[in-house]
């Protein structure tokens, strides 16, 4: 049986751990609120640029652009968004497991695929498995701006335009609620899902100099906005997952402290009983 000192040391250690996890829970909750606000603020821009691109792509003209063309897939790039650190439950492992499973199922050779990583956890995962990494970025802030990943998104889109890759698929955690996130994947390039929004009033646009030149400019920006939107979605999921994980850790610490306190009290009571027995025994021997 553990001594009183050992049990007391474990109680103190667990209490300190609880203080840390509780503080991390509160910090993550605050970051989640900011992330949700940031995502909501970005939604109008994302919706408008999609509306304009849809309008041009479905205007009846023979719009031509490499990003709209489906070609034979010789090489697929997977854009994988993870966090820079752990302590977030299954946030990182879930998306990495799904990407790795997809690669194992669809590809026979490393020439057929590569990955683009956001976050240290994803980068380290693929490095350890010798999976080719085209581009990477780490150290993003908890509320990233578009400027933070502008170079990465533009270079990624350019890889497709230059036909260095023939397909771009993004994997990230989709934020559903504070307690629910889901690993999702979506083919970003080529852009084959542009459709007119159904229902409601449709805006009428006048284009200068012409629709084709506007499309040449907007399509890369649209693809970049999709990547940035997925990053914001993933950041909200990360904060929510870490908040939930730290809440569970704090609750577990409370339960452990209760169990250890009960053990401590029982051990202390046993020690006191033993001392009383020895005293009574000693007194009896003197009589």
Q: DSSP for 25-90, please give it.
A: HHHHHHHHHHHHHHHHHHHHHHHHHHHHHHHHHTSSS----GGG-----S-EEEEEE--SS--STT
- Measure the CA–CA gap between 223 and 186, rounded to whole angstroms: 12
Asked whether residue 106 carries a pLDDT value surpassing 90, the answer given is yes
Q: Would you state the pLDDT for residue 201?
A: 47
pLDDT bracket for residue 131 (50, 70, 90): very high
For residue 118, the cross-strand partners are 81, 137
pLDDT of residue 200 exceeding 50:
no
| Average pLDDT over all residues of the chain | 87
Specify the pLDDT at position 199: 45
Q: Which CATH architecture has domain 4-25+245-286?
A: Orthogonal Bundle (1.10)
Task: Tell me what the mean pLDDT of segment 191-197 comes to.
Answer: 64
How high is the pLDDT of residue 51?
A: 82
Q: Is the peptide bond before 123 cis (omega within 30 degrees of 0)?
A: no
Q: Where are the domains of the chain?
A: 4-25+245-286, 27-195+203-244
Structurally, what CATH architecture does the domain formed by 27-195+203-244 represent? Answer: 3-Layer(aba) Sandwich (3.40)
Q: Please work out, in degrees rounded to the nearest 5, the angle formed at the alpha carbon of residue 88 by the alpha carbons of 84 and 94.
A: 85
Position with higher pLDDT, 21 vs 69: 21
Q: Which residue has the higher pLDDT, 282 or 241?
A: 241
Please compute the mean of the pLDDT values over residues 174-185 and round it to a whole number.
91
Please indicate whether residue 201 or residue 226 has the higher confidence score (pLDDT).
226
For the chain, what percent of residues have pLDDT higher than 90?
56
Kind plus residue range of the DSSP H or E element containing 246? helix 211-286
- H or E segment to which residue 19 belongs: helix 4-57
Does position 273 have pLDDT exceeding 80, yes or no? yes
Give the pLDDT score at 102. 95
Give the mean model confidence (pLDDT) for residues 29-37. 91
Contact yes or no for 185/171 (Cβ under 8 A): yes
């Amino acid at each position: 049986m553990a001594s009183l000192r050992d049990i007391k040391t474990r109680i103190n250690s667990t209490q300190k751990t609880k203080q840390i996890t509780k503080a991390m829970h509160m910090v993550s909750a605050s970051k989640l609120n900011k992330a949700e606000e940031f995502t909501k603020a970005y939604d109008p821009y994302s919706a408008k640029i999609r509306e304009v691109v849809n309008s041009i792509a479905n205007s009846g003209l023979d719009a031509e652009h490499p990003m709209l063309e489906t070609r034979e897939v010789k090489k697929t790039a997977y854009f994988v968004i993870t966090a820079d650190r752990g302590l977030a439950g299954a946030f990182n492992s879930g998306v990495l497991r799904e990407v790795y499973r997809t690669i194992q199922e669809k590809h026979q050779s490393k020439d057929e695929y590569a990955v683009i990583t956001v976050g240290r956890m994803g980068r380290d995962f693929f490095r350890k498995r010798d999976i080719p990494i085209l581009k990477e970025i780490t150290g993003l802030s908890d509320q990233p701006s578009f400027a933070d990943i502008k170079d990465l998104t533009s270079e990624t889109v350019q890889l497709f335009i230059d036909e260095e890759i023939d397909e771009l698929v993004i994997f990230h955690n989709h934020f559903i609620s504070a307690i629910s996130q889901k690993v999702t994947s979506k083919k970003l390039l080529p852009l084959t899902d542009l459709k007119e929004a159904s229902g409601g009033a449709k805006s009428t646009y006048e284009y200068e100099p012409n629709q084709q030149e506007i499309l040449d400019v907007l399509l890369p920006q649209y693809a970049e906005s999709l990547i940035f939107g997925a990053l914001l979605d993933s950041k909200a999921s990360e904060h929510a997952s870490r908040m939930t994980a730290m809440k569970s850790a704090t609750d577990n610490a409370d339960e452990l402290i209760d169990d250890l306190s009960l053990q401590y009290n029982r051990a202390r009571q046993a020690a006191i009983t033993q001392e009383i027995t020895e005293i009574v025994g000693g007194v009896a021997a003197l009589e």
